[in-house]
Amino acid sequence: MTEFMSALESTLEIIITLSIHVLECMGISIILVGAFKAIYGLARRKPGVRLKLAESMALALEFKLGGEILRTVQVRAWSEIAIVGAIILLRGVLNLLIHHEIKIEEERDERMRALEAQGEPTAAQPAHSALVSTAQCVFPTPDPERTAHWYRQCLGYDSERDGDAIALSGEGARILLTPTQGSPVRPNRMIYGGGCDAVIRVRDVDALQRTLMAQGVMIPHALDRDGFVAEDADGRWLRFERAGDN
């Protein structure tokens, strides 16, 4: 009987040790995959990168916690129990971070829905704006106030504070400036290719180009048959086309 119990204990020891190594390897793999996805997402400026990274770390901690609980079967010491408690505490902090990031994403989605709900422009044309229509855009920027000032001064946009972001609106234009927490801006044309970051249709491209040039705005591509390209405060290229052109 003693030999049987000794053999059973040795077998359990091997199984537990193997299980601990498997769980720890799975946790490490999840962290590495999550970190790779986060780096790729940052390079592509995808939203929700921090949320996905936090979720990966929380899942990896679940495997680590399972391994440490199994280890307490082998080593019944207060140090092992303290490690388990520290992991549980860290998991709780990560859960709070995940809930915070989820709230940020929900607020961002609400702002986008609010922009879309503003609908089509009215028939009355404001005297300060030459804009006719443009696609709704979200522009990350390290300094929303500075960028909003450029759009107000150069294009006559109206601006409204929306939490940490600033909502810009011209005649038919809906742009949301979101803070990048100091990170540099990578224009969409550099990430996805293409000749510009946004297309805006105006009634009088000739007059608008003259106005922007008089204000010292950079014009990477001067007026052609269809329109011209101007550079905003963050280095984005905005193409202004004649209203009615495709």
**Other CB atoms within 10 Å distance of the CB of residue 42:** 14
Residue 109 pLDDT class (50, 70, 90 cuts): low
What's the start-to-end Cα distance of the chain, in Å? 88
Q: Which pLDDT band, with edges at 50, 70 and 90, does 135 fall under?
A: low
pLDDT confidence of 122, banded at 50, 70, 90?
very low
pLDDT digits (tens, 9 = 90+) for 218-230: 898 888 877 888 9
3-state secondary structure 132-169: EEECCEEEEECCHHHHHHHHHHHHCCEEEEECCEEEEE
Higher per-residue pLDDT: 124 or 14: 14
pTM greater than 0.75 (yes/no): no
* Contact yes or no for 236/198 (Cβ under 8 A): yes
Burial 141-171 (b: 16+ CB within 10 A, else e): beebeebbebbeebbbbbbeebeebbbbbbb
If one counts every other C-beta atom within 10 angstroms of the C-beta of residue 8, the result is 10
> What percentage of residues in the chain have a pLDDT greater than 90?
5
Question: How much is the pLDDT for 131?
Answer: 40
CB 203 within 8 A of CB 132: yes
User: Hey, which CATH number is domain 118-242, 3.90.550.10, 3.10.180.10, 3.90.950.10, 1.20.120.530?
Assistant: 3.10.180.10
- Among residues 215, 219, 203, which one has the least CA distance to residue 170? 203
| Residue 1 vs residues 4, 14, 79, 234: alpha-carbon distances, Å | 5, 20, 33, 78
Q: Check pLDDT > 50 for residue 24.
A: yes
| CATH 3.10.180.10 domain range(s) in the chain | 118-242
71-75, long-range: CB < 8 A, 24+ apart:
71/16, 71/20, 73/16, 74/13, 74/16, 74/17
Q: Please give the average per-residue pLDDT across 113-133, as a whole number.
A: 45
Mean pLDDT throughout 191-207?
Answer: 72
What tokens does 108 get? 């961002």
Average confidence (pLDDT) over 167-183: 77
Convert the pLDDT of each residue in 45-103 to its tens digit. Answer: 666 777 788 888 888 888 888 888 888 877 777 888 888 888 888 888 888 878 777 77
- Nearest CA among 80, 88, 78 for reference residue 20: 80
Residue (of 187, 183, 182, 230) closest to 205 by Cα position: 230
